[in-house]
Each structure stands twice: as structure tokens, then as C-alpha cells.
């Protein structure tokens, strides 16, 4: 019998945790190699299932899973798929046979588990993490921090929810690490390879594809993509739908939570058996009595899940294009996630990339192995390996007119920071409203809104004189902090972007595709919006100039300026093409050009009247600067 001997003076061990949709695991580094710890089930893999008993008990893992068919409403599986999702999202009801409780915030899922208070996905995840934490303490004696993995395509809300779950479980989070990067780290340490690799991660509920460069101890993500609502669970549901029809339950209204859970359980078992056998027979109860037997062939199952695999293929091709690579330029393809055990998945990946994938490490544990390696490095403050993740989507702010100024473009290596400077649009403006958005479209209305906040208390100044410096900082866990500072006054405000709900299935899958599909259309709309803003600026500046210096115009010149003003107003209001607005701007610019020179002469003459030479130099410079700014503002070139 072997016993672990704990040294009470030894520093607490840091661990890596793979908080998975279907299974979770915890690993630690021993003698330079990652080792999976035994969970409460006595195995390295803990089913990510939590059962809430009628008398206040909470059970996790295999024991909880046993209740799934008997008490499906009290037994929550795949809670990770609900993180950051609203209760009224169209896809929410399809993710499991649960009762959802109403709450003040409809953007948060609440499971009715038959208790006085419902539970959220964060609380369910916390129970799983508590179990893993206790298992680690039982085997290590003491526990330091933890590196917890998340899908690369988790947004800020989902990442923050994961950190909240860890906090509820009593864990110190050293870092959130993207799952594909963790897998590549495990393979890099094992194989000591350099090169460009694709990490194809198809788990129970999420899919990620990452193109990663391994070179000289640096793991750099070149591009990333995926779908946070695609995985083995979808394969189970496709097969369960076939079983439900065989049970005589074609009408969804006739499907109780217990019957759905029964069909899903039979589907999972059949899926696993088809990984080893060419054909299986499944027996399920028939509506009205008796049993129905359904014979399923591996080819039938592969045809059933082919559309799901093709969805992963589209994301893979997009990731390769973003990295500027072809499949032939890859040095290898790493498989991650239990769903990649299916022969059909492995064949599809080989067909997609034109090479046999790497499967040396257990796809169910490789993510935990990489997380353990990173946790060990962080605990030792080592710089042996540098991980460079990237932003999956661009971050920016809405500009006047509805366009987007991208402060941090997608695929920027993180941690990262960037600044951008903005100015006021109107005279005497005393505040800035900042709208932070995420996405690839040209207009803010087509992107995802992350946060809004206002910086107030700015002294009234002429338009364009105030300067707002906006800073974006993304930490190593992918969480965003936005700071806004008015440079002349020093007024400052900051916000940590923690949106309260995540992306829908369609947004996750389609945001990048939409940007590609609507690229030319978006650019035209953006140009039109910008032209209208410039036109409005020029109209405002010209109206102010007419109020102050109309006497410098002849009657004919004034009529020409007023006609051009009317033309620009009409173009800005009615035109559907930016060229029409720009043409009207050019007409007004031409008709005010000579007048602008006369106004500058008047300003300089007024500045030097009755003053000494030393004062004149400064005043002239100031007057010239004001007029130059006005003219630039009028011409739409500031």
C-alpha cells in the first residue's frame, strides 16, 4: 500500500482545473509531469452533474447522474452551457429538461430545483468546483491557487461567471486559461516541439479551434474561433430526437422531462457503443405500453451528426484564414475533448486538415494537464513558458454617427492595452457618453453592446477643444477594463466590463460570418454615417460664421453659401450614398474658401490692434490657431 506523506512546511500546491460541460477534472504537477487527481467518484473524470435533494442535500458526479432519469428537474447537467444565457433565449429551453424560475433579471437562467430558492448556473458550477477542491485537498494536504480553463470563445460575462463560481467554491483563481491553449501547452511540454498547430477542441457543450505557434518557449495564439453552443450534447440530442419518435412522442407537448431524460441517456449510451461497434440496438419504452427497438448503424449516426461537424469545419477554415495559413502549412492537429473519440470525428478532422490528428494524450484530460502545468509555472513565478492568447472579437467604442472605432482589433495578443483619443462634437458640451461594443461590423448597432457610461463635469468649451483619452486594458484572463480621462481637466472614470448576459448561439456562430457577408454593405453604411456627421459639423460651423461675419460676404456670395448650405442639409438628410453627401460638402467648401481667408485676416487684425510687439506674437499665434481649427473643422478634416 502506498501512502502520500505531506510536508507541513511545503508550500501549497497550485492545481489546474478543467471545468468541462460533460466532465471536469483536476490535475497537479509531480516530478515535472502533470498527473490527474482522483475525484470523489474514484476516477480522474467527474461528471459535471449536480443533484439537489429534497432535504437540502447536494450531490455531485456519478451519484448525481444516477438521479437524472428519476428526478431530471432536480438534477442539473451541462450547466456550463447556460452560463451567461438568458432564461428567454430561444435556445435555452432546448438545452435540457429543466424547470426555469422567474426572476427580476430575465437575462440570468434560474433553475427551479424544488427548493425555496432557485439556483443559477454559477451556483451549479460552484458545487462542481467545491468537489474538485476537496478532492485536491484530500490528496495534497494543502491547496494553493488554481488555473481554471474556459472555452476560447467565452465572452466577458461567461469568464466573469466562471470566476464567480470559483470564488463561491473557495478557490483562488490564478488565471483563466483558454482550453485549446492549455491542451497545446500540455503537448508542447510533452513533445518539446516547435511549429504551428491547430487545436480542435470538441467537448460536450462547446467547440473551439485555435491556431497556435510553438516556438522557443513561447506559445502564441495566431487566431481562434469556435462555437460556445456546439458539442457532444448536440449529437446526443440529434440521436435522442430519433429515439423519441420511435417511442411515439412526435408531438413535443407529449414529452415530459422524465421521458426526455430517458431518451438522452439512451442516446449517450448508444453513441459510446457506436464508437466501438458498427451497429447497436436500443430498446426504449413505447407510448401506450410495450417497448420499441431501434437498430442504429454507425453510418446512420455519422450522417446524423455530419451537419454539426461541418459547422466546426467552417470555423476551422475561418481560423486558418485569419492566421494567414493553409492546412498544408500546419505541423500538426491536436484533438481535445471527449467527443473527438468518435471515429467519425477523427476521420472528418483528417479530411478537413489533410493529416492524421495527434491523439497521444487522453483528450479528456489533456486540458487539465495543461492547466496544471500553467498553474505550476505561475505558482513558481517562472517564465519558462510564455502563453500569448488573443482576443476572439474586436473591442471598440461607438463614434458620432453610429460607427465603431476599434481600439483593440480581434486576434490582438493578450494581455493588451490600447488608447484612443476623441473630442467633442458640439459647443459647450459638458459630458461624454461612452458606448463600449464588441464585434466586427462597421456600425455599433450591428455589434454587441458591452457597457455604457458617462464622464460628466467637463468645463464648457468650443467644439473640438476637449480631449477624451479612452484606454482599453484586457488582462490575461480576457476581462476588459475601460478608462476614460478628459486630458485638460484630469477628470477620470473607469468601468470593468462584466455584461450580465452572454452571446446567443446565433451571435457566437454568426458574428464573424456577418462581418464577411456584409463587409461591403457595412463599409458603405459607415461611410454614409461618417459623411453625414462631417456634413452636420460643416453646417454648424458655417451657420456660426454667418452669425459672426456675414458682412464679409457680398450679396451674391451669401446667396451661394446659403444655397450650398441648403443642399448639404438635404443631402445629409436624404442621401443613401456617401458620395452624394461628400459632393455637397465640397460645394460648400468651395463657396466658403475665400470667405474663410477674410475671416482669418479680421481675426489677426483684431488680435494685434493696440498691443505691444511681444503680446502680438502670442495673440496672433492664438488667433491663427483658432481660425485654422475653425477652417479645418468646417472642411471636415480635423
**Residues involved in catalysis:** 18, 80, 179, 201
d(CA 25, CA 186): 15
CA angle 595, 598, 601 (to 5 degrees): 155
The CA radius of gyration of the chain, in Å to the nearest whole number, is 31
The sign of the CA dihedral 159, 161, 163, 165 is negative
Q: In 3-state terms, what secondary structure has residue 112? A: coil
Q: What are phi and psi of 222, to 5 degrees?
A: -85, -35
The DSSP letter of residue 348 is H
CA 564, 569, 572, 574 torsion-angle sign? negative
Q: Which three cell numbers stand for residue 265?
A: 441517456
C-alpha to C-alpha distances, 324 to 196, 252, 313, nearest whole angstrom: 12, 46, 17
Cβ neighbours for 323, distance < 8 A, ≥ 6 positions apart = 196, 211, 222, 223
Using alpha carbons, select from 190, 199, 182, 152 the residue that is nearest to residue 371: 182
Specify the residue for cell string 449510451: 269
- Grouping H, G, I as helix, E, B as strand and the rest as coil, residue 470 is strand
Backbone angles phi, psi at 283, to 5 degrees: -105, 130
Distance CA 229, CA 490 (A): 44
3-class state of residue 332 by DSSP: strand
Note whether 477 and 163 are within 8 A (CB): yes
Amino acid at each position: 500500500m502506498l501512502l502520500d506523506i505531506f510536508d507541513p512546511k511545503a508550500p501549497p500546491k497550485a492545481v489546474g482545473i478543467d471545468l468541462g460541460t460533460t466532465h471536469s477534472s483536476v490535475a497537479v504537477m509531480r516530478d515535472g509531469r502533470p498527473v490527474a487527481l482522483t475525484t470523489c467518484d474514484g476516477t480522474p473524470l467527474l461528471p459535471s452533474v449536480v443533484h439537489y435533494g429534497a432535504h437540502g442535500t447536494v450531490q455531485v458526479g456519478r451519484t448525481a447522474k444516477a438521479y437524472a432519469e428519476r428526478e431530471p428537474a432536480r438534477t442539473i447537467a451541462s450547466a456550463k452551457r447556460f452560463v451567461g444565457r438568458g432564461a428567454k433565449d430561444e435556445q435555452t429551453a432546448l438545452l435540457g429538461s429543466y424547470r426555469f424560475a422567474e426572476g427580476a433579471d430575465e437575462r440570468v437562467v434560474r433553475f427551479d430545483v424544488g427548493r425555496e430558492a432557485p439556483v443559477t448556473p454559477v451556483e451549479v458550477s460552484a458545487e462542481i468546483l467545491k468537489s474538485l477542491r476537496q478532492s485536491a485537498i484530500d490528496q495534497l494536504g494543502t491547496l494553493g491557487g488554481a488555473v481554471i480553463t474556459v472555452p476560447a470563445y467565452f465572452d466577458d460575462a461567461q469568464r466573469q461567471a466562471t470566476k464567480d463560481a470559483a470564488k463561491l467554491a473557495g478557490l483562488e483563481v490564478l488565471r483563466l486559461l483558454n482550453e485549446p491553449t492549455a491542451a497545446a501547452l500540455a503537448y508542447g511540454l510533452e513533445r518539446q516541439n516547435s511549429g504551428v498547430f491547430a487545436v480542435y477542441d470538441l467537448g460536450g457543450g462547446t467547440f473551439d479551434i485555435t491556431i497556435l505557434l510553438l516556438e522557443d518557449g513561447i506559445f502564441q495564439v495566431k487566431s481562434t474561433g469556435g462555437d460556445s453552443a456546439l458539442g457532444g450534447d448536440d449529437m446526443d440530442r440529434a440521436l435522442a430526437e430519433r429515439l423519441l419518435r420511435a417511442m411515439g412522442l412526435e408531438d413535443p407537448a407529449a414529452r415530459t422531462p422524465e421521458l426526455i431524460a430517458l431518451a438522452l441517456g439512451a442516446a449517450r449510451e448508444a453513441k459510446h457503443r457506436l464508437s466501438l461497434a458498427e451497429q447497436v440496438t436500443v430498446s426504449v419504452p413505447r407510448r401506450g405500453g410495450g417497448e420499441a427497438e431501434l437498430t442504429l448503424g454507425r453510418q446512420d449516426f455519422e450522417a446524423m451528426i455530419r451537419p454539426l461537424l461541418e459547422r466546426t469545419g467552417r470555423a476551422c477554415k475561418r481560423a486558418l484564414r485569419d492566421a494567414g495559413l493553409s492546412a498544408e502549412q500546419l505541423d500538426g492537429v491536436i484533438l481535445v475533448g471527449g467527443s473527438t473519440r468518435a471515429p467519425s470525428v477523427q476521420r472528418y478532422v483528417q479530411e478537413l486538415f489533410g493529416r492524421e490528428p495527434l491523439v497521444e494524450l487522453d483528450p479528456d484530460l489533456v486540458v487539465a494537464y495543461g492547466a496544471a502545468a500553467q498553474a505550476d509555472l505561475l505558482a513558481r513565478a517562472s517564465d519558462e513558458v510564455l502563453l500569448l492568447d488573443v482576443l476572439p472579437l474586436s473591442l471598440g467604442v461607438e463614434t458620432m454617427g453610429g460607427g465603431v472605432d476599434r481600439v483593440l482589433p480581434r486576434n490582438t495578443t493578450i494581455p493588451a492595452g490600447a488608447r484612443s483619443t476623441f473630442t467633442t462634437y458640439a459647443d459647450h458640451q459638458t459630458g461624454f457618453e461612452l458606448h463600449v461594443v464588441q464585434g466586427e461590423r462597421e456600425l455599433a448597432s450591428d455589434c454587441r453592446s458591452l457597457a455604457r457610461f458617462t464622464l460628466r463635469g467637463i468645463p464648457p468649451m468650443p467644439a473640438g477643444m476637449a480631449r477624451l483619452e479612452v484606454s482599453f486594458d484586457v488582462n490575461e484572463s480576457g476581462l476588459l477594463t475601460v478608462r476614460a480621462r478628459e486630458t485638460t481637466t484630469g477628470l477620470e472614470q473607469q468601468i470593468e466590463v462584466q455584461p450580465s448576459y452572454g452571446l446567443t448561439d446565433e451571435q457566437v456562430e454568426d458574428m464573424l460570418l456577418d462581418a464577411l457577408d456584409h463587409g461591403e454593405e457595412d463599409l458603405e453604411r459607415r461611410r454614409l454615417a461618417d459623411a453625414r456627421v462631417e456634413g452636420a459639423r460643416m453646417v454648424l460651423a458655417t451657420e456660426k460664421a454667418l452669425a459672426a461675419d456675414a458682412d464679409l460676404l457680398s450679396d451674391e456670395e451669401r446667396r451661394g453659401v446659403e444655397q450650398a448650405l441648403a443642399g448639404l442639409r438635404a443631402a445629409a438628410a436624404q442621401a443613401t450614398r456617401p458620395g452624394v453627401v461628400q459632393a455637397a460638402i465640397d460645394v460648400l467648401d468651395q463657396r466658403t474658401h475665400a470667405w474663410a481667408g477674410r475671416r482669418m485676416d479680421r481675426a489677426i487684425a483684431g488680435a494685434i490692434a493696440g498691443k505691444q510687439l511681444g503680446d502680438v506674437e502670442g495673440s496672433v499665434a492664438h488667433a491663427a490657431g483658432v481660425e485654422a481649427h475653425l477652417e479645418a473643422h468646417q472642411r471636415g478634416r480635423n
